[in-house]
Structure 1
Amino acid sequence: MNTFTEPVQPSAAPEPTPGRRKPKASLYRPGTLLAIAWLVLIMIASATARGWVPFPVDHQDLTDALAGPSSRHWLGTDELGRDLFSRIVTSGWISIGPALLAVAVAFGVGVPMALLAAEHGRKVEWTCSRIAELLLSLPTTVILLAFVGAVGIHVWAIMAVLGLLLAAPVYRILLALAQSLRTRLYVDAAKVNGVGSLLVNVRHVLPGMATTIAVQAAQLFALGILIEAGLAFMGYGPAIPAPSWGGLIGGAQQHIYDAPWMMVPTGVVLALTVIAANQIADALSGERERNAPVRRPARRAARLPVPAQAAGEASTRAEGALLEVRDLRVGVVEGTELVTGVSVSVRSGTVLGLVGESGCGKTMTARSLMGLLPDGVEVCDGSIRFQGRELVGLSDRQYQDVRGRDIAMISQEPMVALDPMFTIGYQLVQPIRRFRGVGRGEARRIALDLLAQVGIVDPARILRSHPHALSGGMAQRVCIALALTGSPKLLIADEPTTALDVTVQAEILSLLRSLVHNTGLSVVLVSHDLGVVADLCDDVAVMYAGQVLESGTVAEVLDQAAHPYTGALMSANPHIPQGEAVPDRLPSIRGTVPAPKDWPTGCRFASRCPLSTHECHEPVALAPAHGGGTVRCIHPLVPAPATAGPNESGVVR
């Protein structure tokens, strides 16, 4: 028996994708059905054997020893004249039962370890991984034999120890999958909706691991049968006269020359059982692939003109803003900063847009407001005050009082934000019951009202549907309804129209606009699209390389851009006003956004800016612009008031 020290590897990278399952052809193939039927037959026959086998397992007839198959003894007899068929059938549970116990112990230890390590981050993961490495370093055969020498031959106890040793490879296989599942948007959505950590694991993470667990369990079951048979073959099986498959093979090998037939029946049954378990594992592995959800291709949003406003009109920040962010710094734990000194403000009933290229820190800033930063990333400094309450420093449990109830979120990938395991009704009713303290019937009525509020024509049908049955626009409406289950005051919208086609984008924007107007909801909108910002937002903050370069009202910033970066973004906007000639080629910004580790000490846009001078390579302070806004530039396109001093607060007014 070989020492088992390496994890059983899955047949494919376990990356679950929401959508329709492929037809279960693998499970319905004749080979798989025969394998399932064989295992069921063996278990039932073994469990009921004592009631129907032709001979007791210890019945001896020395006058008929070492006989071949006959009408009296269907598979022949052994050296003591005992019926082989009766002994093989009766010993089935003694071989299969301990193998099932080993699988149960392995997953009973390995799965919770993987879930805890994925949930609690580096420190817990480091501890669990060191324990797993210690178990993997132990020689399995030596440990089992040492256990036998210490406590004696107890098959069930031996297999329980084997299960403990197998928990290490189970943990190694499931850890990466659990970590991947916890990054899914529907897990974040569950946290936003107030679901506790235990329920997140049970409802959302564990179901996503179910197929991989089933595959590995089938493989370890086959391995457990072989190991139990190997131990019994060496004499460490059940006490005589109790039979086991390994013990029967061990007895048969003593008569390999004078009665070779004795080896055949038990060997064939053992081989077929192991092959059947592996066949089921292969079939389950084939079922892990799923079709990608049917959705419309993502297109660029329609570019809408900036609303015309009077030249002298300027919005000023109301006293007692709903959200105040001051000098926010977000970075890798004990490493590089990803967001530097961001300061913004959101008034009740208004929409703030965060604009910039990919990698500018918009999403990281928005996620910090919810306390949903990725593992290994944290708020390093600064303040986030919501309705006067400081959010920086709150634990995940304390954040549950805020998420969903006061601050909610919708994402850019609605198909990923909805859990494919549950119906829309379940995903809406549960948070409504939790947030509003109502019964199931009332929660269902509220869910129907919310779906109608977001423009869904047949809400009753949608409640019964699973996410894969919805179009992209319908799924995004459901996500907005899900965000409204707790009656929040602030909505974080992370590029909510990016994955939708143009006509659906316009519908979603109209829906958000009506929600803001009718309910007084405030929104922080993350977007690449200046057309969306112009159509929906009241204030805007233009971000680049983790900093706010320009802020102010939408009309002032987009009509009279002060920072060269904002001007370059506006020039690259493909919307062409009426009466103007269509250019042969739209301007573009040369270069790319630098990585955080490459940020310069001076202006971070300097390497791409046509107005850059040597002064731009020194630290640049914020200056007032647009009346109540700011700009971070030495050479602004719209000069700042000459009498005004630098403004480091950076608050969007």
Structure 2
Amino acid sequence: MSIQAASPPTPAFRKLRQLSALVDLRHNAVPAISLAFILLVSLAVVLADVLAPYDPLHQDLPAALSGPSAAHWLGTDTLGRDVLSRLLHGGQPALAGVVLALGVFTACGTALGILAGYLGGWVDRCVGIVVDMFMALPNMVIILAVLAVFSQSQTASMITLGVLASGNLIRIVRSSVLALKEELYVSAAVVSGLTDARIMARHILPGLIGPVLVQLSIFSGVALSVQTGLGFLGVASKPPAPSWGGMVGEAAEVMSAHGFFLLVTGGIITLLTFAFGFLGDGLRDLAAETKKQPAASLFRKPAARGGLSALPPAPVPGARLSVQDYCVGFHSDGGVKETVRNLNWAIQPGEILGLVGESGSGKTVTALSLLGLLPSNGEVTGGRAYLDGKDISGLSETQYEDIRGKEIGLISQEPMVALDPSFTIGDQLTEVLRLHHRENRQALKARALDLLHQVQLPQPEGLLSKYPHELSGGMIQRVVIAIALAGSPKLLIADELTTALDVTVQAEILDLLRDLRDRTGMSIIVVTHDLGVVADLCDRVLIMSQGEIVEQGGTEDIFYSPTRDYTKKLISSTPNLVKAL
């Protein structure tokens, strides 16, 4: 068996490098210098006990308001205390307040933004109301009120600031999540049966690092200004303990006679605020350069199903899947337009069924509706679908989660973007296995290796640590098939699985599906417009046109003795197939 050489970096690989691009500031001097300055000041503040030449509370009244000297590099204040020592120690409450506000800001903004963007519906509306409240409230007035209630507590004031300021981050995260959930690797995670919570944590959250970092750097400057402003007003800090805001207040009282004192104390706050701003601008520019337009998703959360038959037809006895009087429609302009109408077909255990038709014929919509993956305006409008005699039409989202991956597996038509580029093959495969098999890490790894063996990938042990961009198209397709098999489904839906592959790899994938059917007895639905694939692989064929089945039967009967003109035209439009026949 031949395997393609690794393909060159793809858009997925470029997405994997987005975070490294965000922090790669070597070619942008201003944010690089800003970051270095922030780190230098932070390190000096953290090591204040070591670096400060004097006790920040030590007074030397005869040396009060002296200028820079060998004894006092930045001079002294009104009580003769060393300014450099007080700046180093005074930075600790300032930066601690910034860190606390950042933590609350990040937690509130990211969590609520993800929930609003991913879940939508009433959750989105409720979060929107909360955001409007946050942005309408006068932040400083609320913070001063909190200080009055909590006895000038800096902790309470910074937590309040983080919560009130998170409205802007919530909106930004929400819009980013709306784009990320359109990625096919998120859709593939849904098909695999992963819960919403796991998808948000594993596949949505990592993609938000760039936008969140930008907002954090910008908000840091705001938090520093608020914290030092409160110190200037004499709240949220208790003299004589040093604080940057309090030192600015002291310097302002003697500004006319000793301007250098104000220049030094206010200068560090100003420079650090500007550094945060410049760093945020640099990160935003780099994020814009590396931003990628998300691929259009085939999958959405299902709308509530309605309009199903009052007297449902009976399932076909012994069929793995049977579809009876099946209709699918989409809401538009106040009505429902049916795009799939009155389908009646069945697939038996161990059978490979080809669902064939030109683009727009309704074959993919039919297949996705079986998994509850219609667009938000789509619904099953009539008929029933039965899986081993169980009605799976119009289920709730929770009920569909019990079917996806466990009862019905799906192979995406775009395997290269169906995998998350931020995780290794082993991570993504064991994630799905962990959902279906409650076992320890070693057992899950063994199952992952077994699945990779089943799909005939060479040296699977080495593949577990590789990222999607390091594999060829044919290898990626096999990994996607392995993920689809992780839950041991009884029915496998393969949607245009050979479209992006060359002829040699196509043949290998078709042989693999045939071998899987023979070994496991699973049923396979092949959704395709390629009649060559159908002729090579399928036992029976359904021909669809404009949402209806125009002909169905055994593969040989369809290709050698078609009865409908549409079927004859499809066959005649495939020259290599006509020549073979």
1:232-251 equivalences under 5 Å are 232-251=231-250
Match of 2:300 in 1: none
Shift, 1:511, TM fit: 1.8
Match of 1:231 in 2: 230
> Against the structure 1 CA distance between its residues 47 and 392, is the aligned structure 2 distance closer, same or farther, given a 3 Å change threshold?
same
**CA offsets, 1:340-359, max 9 Å, x none?**
33433222222222333334
Q: Specify which of 21, 44, 52 is matched with residue 17 of structure 2.
A: 21
Shift, 1:17, TM fit: 6.7
Q: Judging by fraction of residues, say which structure has more helix.
A: 2
Answer yes or no: is the 8 Å Cα contact 2:211–2:287 preserved in 1.
no
Match of 2:322 in 1: 324
Shift, 1:500, TM fit: 2.0
Match of 1:385 in 2: 386
> Against the structure 1 CA distance between its residues 321 and 154, is the aligned structure 2 distance closer, same or farther, given a 3 Å change threshold?
same
The 1-side partners of 2:119 and 2:135 are apart by: 23
**CA offsets, 1:46-93, max 9 Å, x none?**
344245523333333343332211112111122333321112111112
2:263 counterpart of 1:259: no
Residue 412 of structure 1 aligns to a residue whose secondary structure is: coil
Answer yes or no: is the 8 Å Cα contact 1:212–1:288 preserved in 2.
no
Answer yes or no: is the 8 Å Cα contact 2:12–2:416 preserved in 1.
no
**Same amino acid, percent of matched pairs:** 40
The amino acid of 1:394's aligned partner reads: L
The amino acid of 1:208's aligned partner reads: G
Answer yes or no: is the 8 Å Cα contact 1:328–1:384 preserved in 2.
no
The amino acid of 2:524's aligned partner reads: V
Answer yes or no: is the 8 Å Cα contact 1:318–1:347 preserved in 2.
no
The amino acid of 2:24's aligned partner reads: L
The 2-side partners of 1:234 and 1:330 are apart by: 64
Match of 1:595 in 2: none
> Against the structure 1 CA distance between its residues 406 and 437, is the aligned structure 2 distance closer, same or farther, given a 3 Å change threshold?
same
Residue 370 of structure 2 aligns to a residue whose secondary structure is: helix
Which has the larger Rg? 1
> Against the structure 1 CA distance between its residues 118 and 338, is the aligned structure 2 distance closer, same or farther, given a 3 Å change threshold?
farther
Match of 1:399 in 2: 400
2:140 counterpart of 1:141: yes
Shift, 1:281, TM fit: 3.8
Q: CA RMSD in A?
A: 3.2
> Against the structure 1 CA distance between its residues 106 and 377, is the aligned structure 2 distance closer, same or farther, given a 3 Å change threshold?
farther
The 1-side partners of 2:268 and 2:338 are apart by: 61
The 1-side partners of 2:344 and 2:252 are apart by: 80
The amino acid of 1:325's aligned partner reads: V
Match of 2:181 in 1: 182
1:125-204 equivalences under 5 Å are 125-148=124-147, 151=150, 153-204=152-203
The 1-side partners of 2:336 and 2:580 are apart by: 48
**CA offsets, 1:574-594, max 9 Å, x none?**
4374499xxxxxxxxxxxxxx
> Against the structure 1 CA distance between its residues 73 and 542, is the aligned structure 2 distance closer, same or farther, given a 3 Å change threshold?
same
Answer yes or no: is the 8 Å Cα contact 2:327–2:383 preserved in 1.
yes
> Against the structure 1 CA distance between its residues 351 and 76, is the aligned structure 2 distance closer, same or farther, given a 3 Å change threshold?
same
The 1-side partners of 2:580 and 2:94 are apart by: 85
The amino acid of 2:398's aligned partner reads: R
TM-score (norm 2): 0.83
The 1-side partners of 2:570 and 2:475 are apart by: 31
> Against the structure 1 CA distance between its residues 483 and 269, is the aligned structure 2 distance closer, same or farther, given a 3 Å change threshold?
same
Shift, 1:164, TM fit: 1.0
State the number of aligned residues: 542
Match of 2:574 in 1: 573
Residue 515 of structure 1 aligns to a residue whose secondary structure is: helix
Match of 1:542 in 2: 543
1:237-636 equivalences under 5 Å are 237-282=236-281, 284-285=283-284, 286=286, 319-326=317-324, 327-332=326-331, 336-337=336-337, 339-341=339-341, 342-575=343-576, 577-578=578-579
Match of 1:67 in 2: 66
The 2-side partners of 1:197 and 1:245 are apart by: 45
The 1-side partners of 2:580 and 2:540 are apart by: 28
TM-score (norm 1): 0.75
Residue 257 of structure 1 aligns to a residue whose secondary structure is: coil
The 2-side partners of 1:391 and 1:457 are apart by: 38
> Against the structure 1 CA distance between its residues 439 and 260, is the aligned structure 2 distance closer, same or farther, given a 3 Å change threshold?
closer
> Against the structure 1 CA distance between its residues 269 and 382, is the aligned structure 2 distance closer, same or farther, given a 3 Å change threshold?
farther
Match of 1:593 in 2: none
**CA offsets, 1:469-525, max 9 Å, x none?**
101111001111121222221111111112223332222222223322343221122
Answer yes or no: is the 8 Å Cα contact 1:339–1:365 preserved in 2.
no
The 1-side partners of 2:238 and 2:546 are apart by: 72
Residue 325 of structure 1 aligns to a residue whose secondary structure is: strand
Residue 575 of structure 1 aligns to a residue whose secondary structure is: helix
Residue 401 of structure 1 aligns to a residue whose secondary structure is: helix
The 2-side partners of 1:432 and 1:470 are apart by: 21
The amino acid of 1:27's aligned partner reads: D
The 2-side partners of 1:108 and 1:515 are apart by: 46
Structure 1: runs of 5 or more not aligned: 1-14, 293-316, 581-653
Answer yes or no: is the 8 Å Cα contact 2:69–2:75 preserved in 1.
yes
Residue 370 of structure 1 aligns to a residue whose secondary structure is: coil
Match of 2:296 in 1: none
Match of 1:613 in 2: none
Match of 1:305 in 2: none
